[in-house]
Amino acid sequence: MERKAWCEGCGTELQVSDPTRPGYVSPSAWERENVVCRRCFRIRHYNEVAKVDHQPDMYLSMLQEIGNREALVVQVVDLFDFAGSWIPGIHRHIGGNPILILGNKLDLFPKSVKVQRLKEWVYRTAKELGVQPADVVLTSAAKGYHFHEVAETIEQLRQGRDVYVVGTANVGKSTLINRLLREFGSGEEVITTSPYPGTTLDTIQIPLDDGKQIVDMPGIIRNDRMSEWVDPAELNEITPKREMKPKVYQLQEGQTLYFGGLARIDYIEGVRQPFVCYMAHSLYIHRTKLENADEIWKKHRGKLLSPPKNDADFPPMKRHRFHLNKKEKQDLVISGLGWVATGKEISKIDLWVPEGIHVEVRPSIL
């Protein structure tokens, strides 16, 4: 194997010697043109994928490289999982370069959503996390919402510089770049996108007219979101694919809601109020009495209460107690799974999730 070649899907250098390493192609496929690695081939044709880890340390040093250059940084975040899709400490690694934040997956939100309000929330949250965005654009890379605004804002802000597209795994970077290429470039869809975290293995450089380039960076995996723990088949069950239709439960004190076998809310104290669940439609939600909750959990987890079908690899459940005393609607957020908007009542709530999964309370965004 003398020539060097790179996978058309994920950009990894191809090799024929080690099937367990990235970039593997069979010797017969190697002879063909426009080869994709076996991993991308499987994703495209069978929808299956092997997990690839991106060490946060390695990723941060890649980000540091950006800090040594003049560039526009485009950080893609998943609006459905904002906290879990943020790159922690990004502002410390990219020097003085401006950051454009693209809030992706807007198509999952109800049509009635107030985009300006959502945008302001993204601004505010970014600032709280240490970033003063040069701009914020909300989009759906999959559906093409506001896509001219995306392209125009990138062009305006880059001022002749390279563009680095960064984000955690699965926020939609590849989908975004494919759409940019399709709508504004000459090429066809070339980057592999997949519903599973961590598809883009290596950087992909896309030349721009002025000799600069768009660089698609691999994703950093955050182990504190639920989507990283369930297996690929079950990930489909917890990932919303289209506009979320919230499910409303009127709960009284002493009631419990299960979210499959992944999370549980115990309403400890407070008057009757609505709990509005923004999650994948296919996720099974079950209500019961708190006094029976432990027993039902033990008996039915992995069966009626699933995913996960198999909890052997799951961390033990951990309780987070929240005292809601602001008299305003608040969201109980479970990273990678969605959120539950409460009513305005003062209340005490226990939220149970596998240990290590990020949870938080925020003022309601919808």
Applying CB under 6 A, the residues found at the interface with ligand GDP are 104-105, 107-108, 140-143, 167, 169-175, 193-195, 199-200, 219
Q: In the complex with ligand GDP, which residue's Cβ is closer, 143 or 344?
A: 143
Measured distance CA(217)–CA(164) in Å, rounded: 7
Measured distance CA(47)–CA(302) in Å, rounded: 24
Non-local CB neighbours of 37 within 8 Å, separated by 6+ positions: 7, 9, 10, 12, 14, 22, 23, 24, 25
Closest distance of CB 219 from ligand GDP, Å: 5
Closest distance of CB 259 from ligand GDP, Å: 19
Three-class secondary structure of residue 73 per DSSP:
strand
Picking from 212, 133, 214, the residue whose alpha carbon sits closest to that of residue 166 is 214
Q: In the complex with ligand GDP, which residue's Cβ is closer, 169 or 283?
A: 169
Q: In the complex with ligand GDP, which residue's Cβ is closer, 175 or 347?
A: 175
Residues 79, 103: contact at Cβ < 8 Å? yes
Closest distance of CB 17 from ligand GDP, Å: 27
Q: Which residue has the tokens 């990723």?
A: 59
Q: In the complex with ligand GDP, which residue's Cβ is closer, 175 or 273?
A: 175
Taking each helix axis from N to C end, the angle separating 147-158 and 173-184, rounded to the nearest 10 degrees, works out to 90
Closest distance of CB 353 from ligand GDP, Å: 22
Q: In the complex with ligand GDP, which residue's Cβ is closer, 195 or 356?
A: 195
Residue 152: alpha-carbon gap to chain centroid: 24
Tokens of 111: 């049509």
Measured distance CA(26)–CA(76) in Å, rounded: 34
Closest distance of CB 39 from ligand GDP, Å: 13
